[in-house]
Amino acid sequence: MVNTKVNLCGIEIDNPIIPASGTFGFGYEFATVYDINMLGTFSFKGTTKDPRFGNPTPRIAEAPSGMLNSVGLQNPGVEKVISEELPRLKACFKKLVMANVSGFAVEDYAYTCEKLNHEEQIGWFEVNVSCPNVHGGGLAFGTDLKNVAAVTKAVKKVTNKPVIIKLSPNVTDITEIAKSCEAEGADGVSLINTLLGMRINLKNRKPILANTMGGLSGPAVFPVALRMIYQVYNAVKIPIVGMGGVSTAEDVIEMMLAGATAVQVGAANLVDPFACKKIIEDLPQVMEKYRINSLTEIIGGAHNG
């Protein structure tokens, strides 16, 4: 019998499969089609201090081997997440959940995390400093090393729960950002968020997305994600949550070999709502195929070859 359990920042989870924020809502919609308690955990919809309507439409554009999104952090705000979304989630998900938090200033992140810190079902904070598609196609808040360090420090002051900083790939050297997170007390990092991209409509000669640019996700980004996870594993000692184009159990194994402790599944959920369920069900068979007894023994295994 293979062992799929992993320890993420001091909390054991049944398997490393985590639906990524923005692709799984607050979970209860997916709970109508399968038992989401089979997941390791999941990262709920990105939450900000105040409600956000998000970006104007169109927000989605197709791309070769992937998709572009410019949703713009649409969410009801932290107060309604606490009063409405989390009670509905608790009725169908019995495990600890990962709270994805976004903001536009250091104070925003600290405020939202402090509010959510009192919620018992929240096990981890995934602090998103890397959303590339909120304002006019501009670069993310998290492309500045000082910003990332300041957010990490501020959030760590207001919570006693593990803090995982979600990193942007749209930087010159992602290892320097990861090291600054670690230096300010981050318990882990997650990477990569989407790559900044765009499409143009040939008929009207204008950008397809109303926001001009958006985040590229899907299988196209998998090799980039894998490379960055591999690099960051060499640069820090804290756990890595890997993501970017994952759609199979084999992808999960590959990311863990690169250095990920857990693996998030994003765009695949939008293609197939059963994507995570299938990966979890396939994982034991794939482990047996590659003679893996326990997933914890392969984390970073590609660095030993």
Q: Which residues are catalytic?
A: 131
Does 19 sit behind a cis peptide bond, omega within 30 degrees of 0 on the bond before it? no
What lies within 8 Å, CB to CB, of 202 at 6+ separation is: none
Q: Which residue has the tokens 């001091």?
A: 10
